[in-house]
Amino acid sequence: MDVRKLFRSFRYAGKGFVQTVRAEQNFRFHLLSGAAVLFAGWLTGLSKAEWMIILLLIAGMLSLELVNTAVERVVDKASPEPHPLAGQAKDAAAAAVLVFATSSAVIGFMIFLPKWWNLFN
């Protein structure tokens, strides 16, 4: 096992993360939203299972945003001029993010709302 190669791959991943944070407003929004959910979870006192779900949802959302960014970059490089298929690929990647974000919000409400309801009643 080449340890230098392993560390290089982590460096590339970190570079991609930082580039995405700097360039993508939606990614920054999802980072901020994830931090807010973590804080709300800490205040709410989630169970271990609920924490695992929340962490998976946040990681999944950020991962999907990174993949969406990669798709956009590759499509823009491969098809600098507008093309219907290029647009469809970018739209489909964005739709995947929307589907995951929507389902994550629904799951989040299912976890948090009953706890908050009981807290205030």
Catalytic residue among 58, 65, 66, 75: 65
Q: How far is CA 41 from the centre of its chain?
A: 18
Q: Which of 102, 32, 38, 94 is CA-nearest to residue 65?
A: 94
- 42-95 pLDDT per residue, tens: 999 999 999 999 999 999 999 999 999 999 999 999 999 999 999 999 999 999
Radius of gyration over every alpha carbon of the chain, rounded to an integer in angstroms: 18
Mean predicted confidence (pLDDT) in 3-8: 90
| 65 among annotated binding-site residues | yes
| 12 among annotated binding-site residues | yes
Q: Decide if 50 is catalytic.
A: no
Distance CA 71, CA 102 (A): 20
Q: What's at 85, amino acid-wise?
A: L
| 91 among annotated binding-site residues | yes
Domain 26-120 sits in CATH at: 1.10.287.3610
Residue 115 in this model has a pLDDT that exceeds 90: yes
Residue carrying the six token digits 């590339």 = 12
Residues 61, 8, 27, CA angle at the centre, nearest 5°?
20
| 50 among annotated binding-site residues | no
Q: Which of 38, 16, 12, 37 is CA-nearest to residue 27?
A: 16
Residue 2 in this model has a pLDDT that exceeds 90: no
Confidence of residue 119 (pLDDT cuts 50, 70, 90): confident
- 11-48 pLDDT per residue, tens: 999 999 999 999 999 999 999 999 999 999 999 999 99
CB 61 within 8 A of CB 100: yes
For the chain, domain boundaries: 26-120
